[in-house]
């Protein structure tokens, strides 16, 4: 009797996903360097967006911290990358973000959602300031060098993290914890009185979502040979996952993927040439989406489908 909570109801969806995965795995063999780098960026944004949705979607607690966790991952790679192999420092990046998120969550997730949101908003500035102070006062350096890694390696690493994230998302959604997460978003007090340890579920899920952002950051750091706190901690990277999730729509799994793909592509083409215009554009799109398209593209498609089926029903009567 248990209804599936994931959009994997149709039998052909797993098959389609597998096909896409195979195609993606083989991409480096026949694609140009430009496209490999582009797709790596798209994968990164899908990771950021989907991990944001993992926590903020069902619970409704809006996190503005993705940039902070991404930056923690970048800096972990910068600190460890010259001494340790890629898989190790990527996992370390994930772990570091996990720990930061645990602390942030433990502090703020016991309180109303607004405290959580405002704490996460300032987090990226806070960590940046602390690192600047640390580097300036204690180590006297400014910025660090990062190990250089082949583009194909970056691509495969990102793909691996994404696959891991999708599997994790699926497992969580199908499990009792997914049910608990949803119940927290629907009525947190009732959930607590039904036996759900709401604080622990929130904090753990938040930390898990943060770890993927950290891992993505650690991988991406290798694309820049040199990072400093200002590059690593950029509020735009908190903004984009939120925009992508809302624009794409959070009702179905493909929503964030759609949103991430559209904007990752836009960013690659516009950000370097017209940075201010680009950011102006995405800011405007977010506002328009919130006001006029609250369900995102997914919501739009669902409305369209319902309108078509209604027309079909009317035709049959």
Residues that bind another protein (CB under 8 A): 1-3, 60, 62, 64, 107-108, 111, 113-115, 117-119, 121-122, 125-126, 129-130, 132-133, 136-137, 176, 179-180, 182-183, 186-187, 189-199, 235-236, 239, 242-243, 246, 276-277, 279-280, 282-287, 290-291, 294
Closest approach of another protein to the CB of residue 1, in Å: 6
Closest approach of another protein to the CB of residue 261, in Å: 20
CA distance 206 to 170: 16
Q: Determine the 3-state secondary structure of 145 from DSSP.
A: strand
CA of residue 137 relative to chain centroid, distance? 33
DSSP 84: S
Two tokens, residue 208: 């898990």
Closest approach of another protein to the CB of residue 126, in Å: 5
- When the beta carbons of 90 and 262 are compared against another protein, the nearer one is 262
CA distance 151 to 2: 44
Reported as type and span, the H/E element at residue 144 is: strand 144-145
Q: Which residues contact 266 (CB under 8 A, 6 or more apart)?
A: 278, 281, 282
- When the beta carbons of 62 and 91 are compared against another protein, the nearer one is 62
Rg (CA), the chain: 20
| Residue 1 Cα distances to 54, 181, 296, angstroms | 25, 20, 30
- When the beta carbons of 226 and 230 are compared against another protein, the nearer one is 230
Closest approach of another protein to the CB of residue 138, in Å: 11
Closest approach of another protein to the CB of residue 77, in Å: 23
Two tokens, residue 101: 């998120």
**Among the listed residues 10, 3, 46, 8, the one whose alpha carbon sits nearest the alpha carbon of residue 164:** 46
Closest approach of another protein to the CB of residue 42, in Å: 21
Instruction: Report the C-alpha dihedral over residues 305, 311, 316, 317, rounded to 10 degrees.
Output: 130
Per-residue 3-state assignment (H helix, E strand, C coil) for 173-239? HHCHHHHHHHHHHHCHHHHHHCCCCHHHHHHHHHHHHHHHHHHHHHHHHCCCCEECHHHHCCCHHHH
Closest approach of another protein to the CB of residue 157, in Å: 30
- When the beta carbons of 42 and 180 are compared against another protein, the nearer one is 180
Closest approach of another protein to the CB of residue 76, in Å: 20
Closest approach of another protein to the CB of residue 94, in Å: 24
- When the beta carbons of 10 and 176 are compared against another protein, the nearer one is 176
- When the beta carbons of 50 and 108 are compared against another protein, the nearer one is 108
Q: Positive or negative, the Cα torsion across 213, 160, 96, 179? A: positive
């Amino acid at each position: 009797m248990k209804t599936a909570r994931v959009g994997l109801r149709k039998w052909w969806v797993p098959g389609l996903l597998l096909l896409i995965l195979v195609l993606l795995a083989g991409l480096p063999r026949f694609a140009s360097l430009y496209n490999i780098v582009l797709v790596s960026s798209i994968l990164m944004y899908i990771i950021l967006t989907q991990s944001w949705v993992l926590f903020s979607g069902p619970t409704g607690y809006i996190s503005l911290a993705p940039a902070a966790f991404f930056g923690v991952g970048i800096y972990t790679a910068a600190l460890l990358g010259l001494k340790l192999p890629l898989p190790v420092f990527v996992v370390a990046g994930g772990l570091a973000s996990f720990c930061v998120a645990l602390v942030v969550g433990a502090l703020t997730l016991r309180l109303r959602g607004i405290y959580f949101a405002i704490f996460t908003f300032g987090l990226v500035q806070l960590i940046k300031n602390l690192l600047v102070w640390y580097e300036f006062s204690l180590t006297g350096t400014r910025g660090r060098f990062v190990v250089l890694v082949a583009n194909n390696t970056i691509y495969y690493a990102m793909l691996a993290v994404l696959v891991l994230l999708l599997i994790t998302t699926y497992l969580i959604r199908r499990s009792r914890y997914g049910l608990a997460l949803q119940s927290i978003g629907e009525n947190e007090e009732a959930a607590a009185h039904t036996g759900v340890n709401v604080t622990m579920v929130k904090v753990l899920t938040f930390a898990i979502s943060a770890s993927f952002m950290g891992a993505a950051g650690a991988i991406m750091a290798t694309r820049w040979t040199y990072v400093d706190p200002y590059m690593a901690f950029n509020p735009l990277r908190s903004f984009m996952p939120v925009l992508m999730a809302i624009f794409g729509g959070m009702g179905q799994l493909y929503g964030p993927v759609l949103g991430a793909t559209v904007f990752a592509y836009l960013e690659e083409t516009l950000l370097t040439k017209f940075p201010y215009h680009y950011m102006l554009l995405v800011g405007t799109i977010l506002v328009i989406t919130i006001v006029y398209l609250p369900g995102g593209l997914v919501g739009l498609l669902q409305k369209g489908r319902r309108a078509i089926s209604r027309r079909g029903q009317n035709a049959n009567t």
